[in-house]
């Protein structure tokens, strides 16, 4: 069958011009916009799907952490209790008397002519609020009992040396008696009392928990040096006293 175009020639040309005119451009632009919208929509859907997966993973992680926190909740109070007790423990360590250092220094400065039989001591009470390098009050007290060769200058030598030890102060002779019966040779039995000084932090400033070196282990060398200085000071003071004449207690 033959197709016949019934439009007048003028109308035929107008339709042909419309195909390449503004309407065609508008249609092409619309198609392009629709394509962009479609691509953007697909991209957003994919991105939303990925974000939802990430959110689901995070929710699972949060749930697992919440379960772990619930398991550890009973230990939260324990941690607070340990922290509070640690402060008290540190205070006790700081203000305890350095017995080991005191006895080492005492052994170093005892004269060769003197021998200790015993001592009775009571240190200053613990003060957890005391600051470092503070001297605790009231001071402690210590009483030494011992024997020496029968010259009273040997007892005086002991008293002088006690006063040079940094843990002692105001040493004084309380008793000196000549013993001619107990031993094969004559000897002096004596008793010396002294104040016991507690320096805060001299024996460490922190409590040790578990193994390892003490926090203030570096100070051990300093303590040894101090003891050596105490002994040297005693030697110098005793030498000076020997030259000028050390006052001996009256014979009983």
Per-residue tens of pLDDT for the chain, all 252 residues: 666 666 666 665 555 444 556 777 888 888 888 889 988 999 999 989 899 899 989 999 999 999 888 888 777 777 777 777 777 777 677 778 888 889 999 988 899 889 899 999 998 888 877 777 788 889 999 999 999 988 888 899 999 999 889 899 999 999 988 887 777 788 889 999 999 998 887 766 666 665 545 444 334 433 333 444 444 444 454 444 433 333 333 333
We report the CATH number of the domain holding residue 153 as 3.30.70
Same-domain pairing of 74 and 189: no
pLDDT of residue 8: 67
Residues 80 and 151 in one domain: no
Q: What is the residue range of 40's domain? A: 11-95
Domain match, 106 and 226 both: yes
Q: Do 108 and 150 sit in the same domain of this protein?
A: yes
Let me know if residue 183 belongs to a domain.
yes
Instruction: Out of 72, 95, 118, pick the residue that ends a domain.
Output: 95
Within a domain: 170: yes
186 and 112 co-located in one domain: yes
Non-local CB neighbours of 127 within 8 Å, separated by 6+ positions: 91, 95, 136, 200
> pTM (2 decimals)?
0.51
Give the pLDDT confidence of 72-84 residue by residue, as tens digits.
877 777 777 777 7
Specify if 86 maps to a domain. yes
Phi and psi at residue 138, to the nearest 5°: -70, 155
- pLDDT, tens digit (0-9, with 9 covering 90-100), for 175-186: 988 887 777 788
- Taking each helix axis from N to C end, the angle separating 152-164 and 220-244, rounded to the nearest 10 degrees, works out to 140
- Among the candidates 38, 73, 95, a domain finishes at 95
Distance in angstroms (rounded) separating the CA atoms of residues 28 and 8: 28
Considering the domain architecture, whether residues 156 and 228 belong to the same structural domain is answered as yes
Residues 65 and 184 reside in one and the same domain: no
- The Cα–Cα gap between 137 and 250 comes to 33
Q: Is residue 95 within 8 Å of residue 126, measured between CB atoms?
A: yes
d(CA 130, CA 128): 6
Report the C-alpha dihedral over residues 244, 238, 111, 153, rounded to 10 degrees: 20
The domain tally of the chain equals: 2
pLDDT tens digits for range 84-94: 777 777 767 77
Per-residue model confidence as pLDDT tens digits over 114-142: 989 999 999 888 887 777 778 888 999 99
Report the pLDDT value the prediction gives residue 11, as an integer from 0 to 100: 61
Which of 27, 61, 95 represents a domain boundary (last residue)?
95
Residue in the block written with tokens 């470092």: 132
CA-to-CA separations, 24 to 31, 33, 108, 175, in angstroms, rounded: 11, 14, 113, 129
Q: Note whether residue 211 is domain-resident.
A: no
pLDDT score for 246? 36
* Same domain as 168, residue 61: no
DSSP codes, 35-60:
HHHHHHHHHHHHHHHHHHHHHHHHHH
**Distance between CA 170 and CA 159 in Å, rounded?**
9
**In this structure, are 194 and 101 located in the same domain?**
yes
Q: Please tell me whether residues 128 and 240 are part of one structural domain.
A: yes
């Amino acid at each position: 069958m033959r197709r016949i175009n019934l439009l007048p020639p003028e109308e035929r040309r107008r339709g042909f011009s419309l195909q390449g005119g503004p309407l065609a451009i508008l249609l092409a632009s619309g198609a392009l916009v629709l394509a962009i919208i479609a691509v953007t929509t697909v991209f957003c859907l994919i991105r939303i799907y990925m974000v939802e997966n990430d959110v689901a993973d995070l929710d699972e992680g949060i749930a697992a952490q919440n379960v772990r926190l619930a398991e550890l909740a009973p230990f939260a109070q324990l941690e607070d209790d340990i922290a509070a007790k640690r402060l008290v423990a540190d205070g006790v360590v700081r203000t305890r008397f350095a017995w080991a250092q005191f006895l080492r220094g005492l052994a170093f400065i005892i004269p060769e002519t003197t021998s200790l039989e015993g001592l009775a001591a009571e240190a200053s009470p613990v003060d957890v609020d005391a600051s470092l390098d503070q001297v605790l009050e009231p001071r402690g007290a210590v009483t030494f009992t011992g024997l020496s060769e029968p010259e009273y200058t040997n007892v005086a030598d002991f008293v002088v040396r006690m006063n040079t030890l940094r843990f002692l102060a105001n040493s004084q002779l309380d008793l000196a008696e000549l013993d001619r019966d107990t031993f094969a040779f004559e000897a002096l039995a004596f008793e010396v009392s002294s104040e016991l000084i507690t320096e805060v932090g001299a024996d460490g400033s922190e409590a040790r928990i578990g193994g390892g070196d003490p926090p203030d282990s570096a100070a051990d060398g300093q303590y040894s040096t101090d003891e050596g200085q105490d002994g040297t000071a005693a030697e110098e003071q005793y030498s000076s006293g020997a030259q000028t004449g050390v006052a001996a207690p009256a014979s009983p």
